[in-house]
Amino acid sequence: MFKINENYLKLPGSYLFSTIGKKVAAFTEANPDKPIIRLGIGDVTQPLAPAIIQALHSAVDEMGRAETFHGYAPDLGYSFLRETIAREDYEAKGCQIGADEIFVSDGAKSDSANIQEIFSNDCKIAVCDPVYPVYVDSNVMAGRTGTYDPKTEMWSDVIYMPCTKDNDFVPELPKETPDLIYLCYPNNPTGSALTKEQLQVWVDYANKNGSVIIYDAAYEAYISQENVPHSIYECPGARTCAIELRSFSKNAGFTGTRLGFTVIPKELMCGEVSLHSLWARRHGTKYNGAPYIIQKAGEAVYSAEGKAQLKEQVAYYMKNASVIYQGLKDAGYDVSGGINAPYIWMQTPKGMGSWEFFDYLLEKANVVGTPGAGFGPSGEGCFRLTAFGTYENTVAAMERIKQL
């Protein structure tokens, strides 16, 4: 008789955003007359920029003619896209990353869930707390996290690095040495950022201790301050210790279009074996490339028109971020984030848990946010709002919150 992967059964409850979805659906059914404003899930609302739409139409036309039809894509991505990324995201920022170190994929969620596969099951992971749930859950499914304690909401074999108001949301170097360190900056969910000097500390630590940093830079387009690095490869030494994950979801609105990439420098070695070669083998065996038309859309993100249009789109969302930041402050809340990230992080009112505040906001203001506890134990007592709504809704949500 066949057996299942028992690790899957260890995953507690359902995925955070499913729970929120169910709560909102129940409220809407009970209160059909109360229009909800959603600032919860990190999904975008602005349409794809005209330059991207044009590139998609043109690529679709190519697929309709035998002379320009595209079958199987190269597993690792088309050169036209990999070279554009290398030039625009790395060379232009002074980072030494070759086109052949870039692996195009269907998005950073898949990559951040799959990357653990190339490591031994003995590896110990460290995560910030609070954290994007996929890093931990994918390691649970691989059997790398030990046992779950429902009381502390922690896994026995995971190193948690609290990021709270007390340490200004900057994790401290862990006492026990991790093998894999997940860092996401600008940070989801806290909206905080690391300076180049703060990130350099981690690069040096990883090189010294033989750790690999898995650096999720999905929100780099939202960086507004000069001393905040857009890529970990801006830090000397990162080529021997860091993998970088990037997404087109938030800088270009590709949440429903699906495109991302992972960078693995060729110097990142475990003895004689390069992680680059392992990830290439995984792509070749388990993936068949991102669709041609989507890769052409990705290329348009970097055209002169694309860049100008997306700069406006990011500015639109960041205007929302500032509306939320200021609105919450005016309403008397303790707020952070929203300067280099599309997320605003707030402390819930004294004595109110983060799920309790979720219900309160939903019922009294009909506004949906995300309870900090959903991102990890240190998120308790905190709450996340996102800047990805429309401007009108964002302003209206703040008016409602101020009137509570």
- CA-based end-to-end distance of the chain: 58
Distance, CA of 215 to CA of 229 (rounded, Å): 12
Distance, CA of 145 to CA of 154 (rounded, Å): 9
To a second copy, the closest distance from the beta carbon of 3 in angstroms equals 4
179 or 204: whose CB is closer to a second copy?
179
28 or 46: whose CB is closer to a second copy?
46
Structure tokens at 242: 């860091």
To a second copy, the closest distance from the beta carbon of 117 in angstroms equals 6
To a second copy, the closest distance from the beta carbon of 158 in angstroms equals 15
Angle formed at CA 219 by CA 213 and CA 223, multiple of 5 degrees: 105
Q: Is 45 left (phi over 0), alpha (psi -120 to 50) or beta?
A: alpha
16 or 361: whose CB is closer to a second copy?
16
53 or 352: whose CB is closer to a second copy?
53
To a second copy, the closest distance from the beta carbon of 19 in angstroms equals 12
92 or 273: whose CB is closer to a second copy?
273
To a second copy, the closest distance from the beta carbon of 226 in angstroms equals 31
Position 185, amino acid? Y
Residues 6+ apart with CB under 8 A from 33: none
To a second copy, the closest distance from the beta carbon of 277 in angstroms equals 9
61 or 363: whose CB is closer to a second copy?
61
CB count within 10 Å of CB 286 equals 10
Residues 6+ apart with CB under 8 A from 231: 89, 90, 93, 95, 97, 217, 220, 244
Distance, CA of 93 to CA of 222 (rounded, Å): 15
Asked whether the beta carbons of 289 and 98 are under 8 A apart, the reply is: no
Position 66, amino acid? A
Asked whether the beta carbons of 373 and 380 are under 8 A apart, the reply is: yes
Structure tokens at 331: 């309403």
To a second copy, the closest distance from the beta carbon of 370 in angstroms equals 14
193 or 297: whose CB is closer to a second copy?
297
93 or 282: whose CB is closer to a second copy?
282
Q: What is the DSSP letter of 380?
A: T
To a second copy, the closest distance from the beta carbon of 242 in angstroms equals 12
CB count within 10 Å of CB 110 equals 17
